């Protein structure tokens, strides 16, 4: 067995590798950037070494720094995790040339599968079915547009070196093709250093099916069954599960067999995932599932495979890298129950899923019957330098319905503040009747986006929280003999020679003013009662009183994975101001990659004004209403901080 391993990665995958390595008695070495100096994975490793500043291109993406760290710490092997350099064939070769053990597939296999166009050609030669499209060398806009027209819209533009949903765009009509291509190429160049693309026919009812494969140095290749990763948003996986719903044994045998054939075609060693796109318009059928790409590394969603097979895939990686044969033969690998994984991101669904950064003042994840792989802990910080995924929640059940119920409940129990997360969104996805019934394809979320991101007052805890503050206000002081010296609440709505009137009290929810009305319902002397209504007239009843003071610090209520801020001395937040006065603010620190308008230009609501790159993704900032660009301070290539005014619109007269 390998004696020591340097983990060329960070966050939850680094912690995951450390956990298994410790169980096997393997010494662990972490490398970290300045931004990660106090991260949990750094504290948990046996040895940790600083390799550079916060930006990944100056630390985690510099092979020489990682190899130097390996030499300084006496590492025997390097585990790349996923992302960063995990699928970089040149880095893998450099590790081997340095006399170290590379915990991954041979560089030749990475090269064969690393570029989507080359990989498809290899698969065609191996007899693995592939989706129709364009894989040509001519990358001119004219040629690509012409090929897209031949394929027929909608088409999918994909970076040949892409992965993780980056460098991918769906184009619905010809007139949008050039702009989408340019955006895709920019993102691909920034993420992978390669702006080449391929085109594929867009399947209108697609399912994303992938197969976990494993090979060893003795010529053995097995599969550990399939996963379904169809629940996606903008081509990024949201919830993954194993096995795939609706997969019959004949189709499973065909797709898993094709995955093994694909791995054998490139002499694969270690953990890998062969991804397929399925046309689910008539259910899953072997003749409607096509090879899409192969990820030559461990996947983010590998825990669901571990849960249903009972195997530790990181342990398998370490064993194979040590020269040992696979722990099990194909016939010994079995399925047990159902597993689902949700990716918890530091992002705000209410603002179009923009990433959220800042300190983790309050951070609570569920405990008990769910597995939690977390990158951060309470007291830490989410920075703008890396991917916004902060944890994974994995539930295992006896069947799919049981697993979905467990996952939804786990997501509801997430409590994070002040950083925003997608926990409530995940809970609604996992608990949605259509999802539970298995009616899922890659368009599931977009078709139900408004429903899945709705933040209306729906649960009793939220209403009770408001009510307890108000009831405490009404009952704040003991009555005095002199009514004029009584607490203000005793004179609520008081009018000379007339019945008491209803009173509108100030309140804001998440920085937005919300009407709140309190009216005297009846009573006499010291025994008064009030009717309290909020927003749309719904009453607040059966409230349990807790000591509180109206008008004190904001009240934070965790509800179904979300957090609501109730302020009884309301302040309108910057985002609300921006929506009303036309100020376009930078939602987070980042780099302006393009500016699509000029000062004085007339724009329409929803039109893209500029594009910001942050957390490894591009974010388009759009016009909140029809207007004229009165001010424009954003400059392409410029770095901006959070909250900076980038442009300002004035309404069209």
| Gyration radius of the chain's alpha carbons | 28
113 falls within a domain: no
- Contacts of residue 468, Cβ cutoff 8 Å, sequence gap at least 6: 543, 544, 545, 546, 548
Take residue 370 and report the two structure tokens written for it. 């769910």
- Spatial distance between the Cα atoms of 104 and 14, rounded to a whole number of angstroms: 15
354 falls within a domain: yes
Q: Is residue 297 among the annotated active site residues? A: yes
Angle at 490 between CA 487 and CA 496, to 5 degrees: 120
- Spatial distance between the Cα atoms of 236 and 163, rounded to a whole number of angstroms: 9
- Chosen domain end from 185, 201, 217: 201
Q: Give the pLDDT band of residue 463 (cuts 50, 70, 90).
A: low
Take residue 324 and report the two structure tokens written for it. 């040992």
**Residue 376 sits in the same domain as residue 437:** yes
pLDDT one-digit tens code per residue, 536-563: 444 444 333 233 333 446 777 788 899 8
* C-alpha pair distances (Å), 509 with each of 123, 199, 302, 546: 54, 45, 39, 20
* CATH code of the domain containing 32: 3.40.50.20
Domain region containing 432: 209-453
Predicted TM-score of the model (pTM): 0.78
Cis ω before 596 (30° cut-off from 0)? no
62 falls within a domain: yes
pLDDT at 516: 62
Least confident of 291-300, 384-393, 431-440, 470-479: 470-479
**Residue 612 sits in the same domain as residue 545:** no
**Residue 258 sits in the same domain as residue 381:** yes
326 falls within a domain: yes
122 close to 46: Cβ distance less than 8 angstroms: no
Q: Of the candidates 523, 380, 271, which has an alpha carbon nearest to the alpha carbon of residue 35? A: 380
* CB-CB neighbours of 252 under 10 Å: 20
**Residue 260 sits in the same domain as residue 351:** yes
Residue 259 has pLDDT above 50, yes or no: yes
Classify each residue of 618-633 as buried b or exposed e, where b means 16 or more C-beta atoms within 10 Å of its C-beta: bbebebbeebbbeebe
**Residue 332 sits in the same domain as residue 410:** yes
* CATH code of the domain containing 405: 3.30.470.20
114 falls within a domain: no
Q: Exposed, middle or buried by CB within 10 Å (0-12, 13-18, 19+), for 132?
A: exposed
**Residue 260 sits in the same domain as residue 316:** yes
* CATH code of the domain containing 589: 2.40.50.100
587 close to 579: Cβ distance less than 8 angstroms: no
**Residue 270 sits in the same domain as residue 301:** yes
321 falls within a domain: yes
**Residue 218 sits in the same domain as residue 169:** no
pLDDT one-digit tens code per residue, 79-102: 999 999 999 999 999 999 999 999
Q: How many domains does the chain have?
A: 5
Tell me the mean pLDDT in the region 498-518: 62
What is residue 243's three-state secondary structure? Answer: coil
503 close to 490: Cβ distance less than 8 angstroms: no
221 close to 308: Cβ distance less than 8 angstroms: no
**Residue 242 sits in the same domain as residue 363:** yes
Classify each residue of 261-287 as buried b or exposed e, where b means 16 or more C-beta atoms within 10 Å of its C-beta: bbbebbebbbbbbbbbbbbbeeebebe
**Residue 78 sits in the same domain as residue 190:** no
Per DSSP, 204 falls in state S
Q: From the candidates 297, 400, 412, 469, which is the catalytic residue?
A: 297
pLDDT one-digit tens code per residue, 623-653: 988 999 999 999 998 888 777 889 999 988 6
271 close to 222: Cβ distance less than 8 angstroms: no
- Spatial distance between the Cα atoms of 12 and 39, rounded to a whole number of angstroms: 10
Q: Give the pLDDT band of residue 131 (cuts 50, 70, 90).
A: confident
Classify each residue of 59-88 as buried b or exposed e, where b means 16 or more C-beta atoms within 10 Å of its C-beta: bbbbbebbbebbeebebbbbbbbbbbbbbb
- Chosen domain end from 166, 184, 201: 201
341 close to 25: Cβ distance less than 8 angstroms: no
- Chosen domain end from 201, 228, 259: 201
546 close to 468: Cβ distance less than 8 angstroms: yes
**Residue 588 sits in the same domain as residue 516:** no
- Spatial distance between the Cα atoms of 2 and 315, rounded to a whole number of angstroms: 11
**Residue 423 sits in the same domain as residue 377:** yes
Q: Of the candidates 291, 311, 334, 341, which has an alpha carbon nearest to the alpha carbon of residue 132? A: 291
Q: Give the pLDDT band of residue 483 (cuts 50, 70, 90).
A: very low
């Amino acid at each position: 067995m390998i004696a020591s391993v340097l983990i060329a990665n960070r966050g939850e995958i680094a912690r995951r590798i450390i956990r298994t390595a410790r169980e096997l008695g393997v010494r662990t070495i972490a490398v970290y950037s300045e931004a990660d100096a106090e991260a949990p994975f750094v504290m948990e490793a046996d040895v940790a070494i600083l390799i550079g500043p916060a930006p990944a291109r100056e630390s985690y993406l510099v092979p020489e720094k990682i190899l130097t760290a390996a030499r300084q710490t006496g590492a025997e092997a390097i585990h790349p995790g996923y992302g960063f350099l995990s699928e970089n064939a040149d880095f893998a070769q450099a590790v081997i040339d340095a006399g170290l053990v590379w915990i991954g597939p041979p560089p030749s296999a990475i090269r064969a599968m690393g570029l989507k166009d080359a990989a498809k050609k290899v698969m065609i030669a191996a007899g693995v079915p592939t989706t129709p499209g364009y894989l040509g060398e001519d990358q001119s806009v004219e040629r690509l547009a012409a090929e897209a027209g031949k394929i027929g819209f909608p088409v999918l533009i994909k970076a040949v070196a892409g992965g993780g949903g980056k460098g991918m765009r769906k184009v619905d009509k010809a007139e949008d093709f050039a702009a989408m291509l340019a955006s895709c190429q920019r993102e691909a160049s920034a993420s992978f250093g390669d702006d080449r693309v391929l085109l594929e026919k867009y399947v209108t009812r697609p399912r994303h099916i992938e197969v976990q494969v494993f090979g060893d140095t003795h010529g053995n290749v097995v599969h550990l069954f399939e996963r379904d990763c169809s629940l996606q948003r903008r081509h990024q996986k949201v919830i993954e599960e194993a096995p795939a719903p609706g997969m019959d044994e004949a189709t499973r045998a065909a797709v898993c067999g094709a995955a093994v054939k694909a791995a054998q075609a490139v002499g694969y060693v270690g953990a890998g995932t062969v991804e397929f796109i399925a046309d689910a318009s008539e259910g899953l059928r072997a003749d409607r599932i096509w090879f899409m790409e192969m990820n030559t590394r461990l996947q983010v969603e590998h825990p669901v495979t571990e849960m249903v097979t009972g195997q530790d895939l990181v342990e398998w990686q370490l064993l194979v890298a040590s020269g040992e044969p696979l722990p099990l033969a194909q016939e010994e690998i079995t399925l047990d129950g159902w597993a689902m994984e949700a990716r918890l991101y530091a992002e705000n669904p209410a603002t179009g899923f923009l990433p959220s950064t800042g300190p983790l003042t309050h951070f609570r994840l569920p405990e008990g019957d769910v597995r939690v792989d977390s990158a951060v802990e309470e007291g830490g910080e989410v920075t703008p330098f890396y991917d916004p995924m902060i944890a994974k929640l994995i539930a295992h059940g006896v069947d799919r319905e049981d697993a979905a119920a467990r996952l939804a409940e786990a997501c509801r129990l997430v409590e994070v503040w002040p950083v925003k997360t997608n926990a409530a969104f995940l809970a609604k996805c996992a608990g949605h009747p259509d999802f539970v019934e298995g009616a899922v394809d890659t368009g599931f979320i977009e078709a139900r986006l408004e429903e899945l991101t709705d933040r209306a007052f729906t649960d009793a805890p939220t209403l009770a929280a408001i009510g307890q503050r108000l009831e405490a206000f009404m009952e704040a002081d003991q009555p005095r003999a002199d009514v004029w010296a009584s607490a203000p609440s005793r004179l609520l709505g008081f009018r000379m020679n007339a019945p008491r009137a209803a009173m509108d009290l100030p309140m804001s929810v998440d920085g937005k003013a919300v009407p709140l009305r309190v009216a005297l319902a009846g009573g006499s002397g010291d025994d008064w009662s009030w009717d309290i209504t909020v927003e749309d007239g719904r009453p607040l009843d059966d409230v349990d009183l807790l000591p509180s003071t109206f008008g004190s610090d904001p009240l934070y209520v965790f509800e179904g994975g979300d957090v609501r801020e109730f302020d009884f001395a309301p302040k309108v937040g910057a985002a609300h101001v921006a929506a009303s006065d036309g100020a376009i603010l930078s939602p987070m620190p980042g780099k302006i990659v393009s500016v699509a308008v000029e000062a004085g230009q007339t724009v329409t609501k929803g039109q893209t004004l500029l594009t910001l790159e942050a957390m490894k993704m591009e974010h388009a900032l759009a016009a909140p209403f029809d207007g004229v660009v009165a001010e424009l301070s954003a400059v392409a290539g410029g770095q901006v901080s959070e909250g900076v005014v980038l442009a300002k619109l004035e309404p069209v007269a």
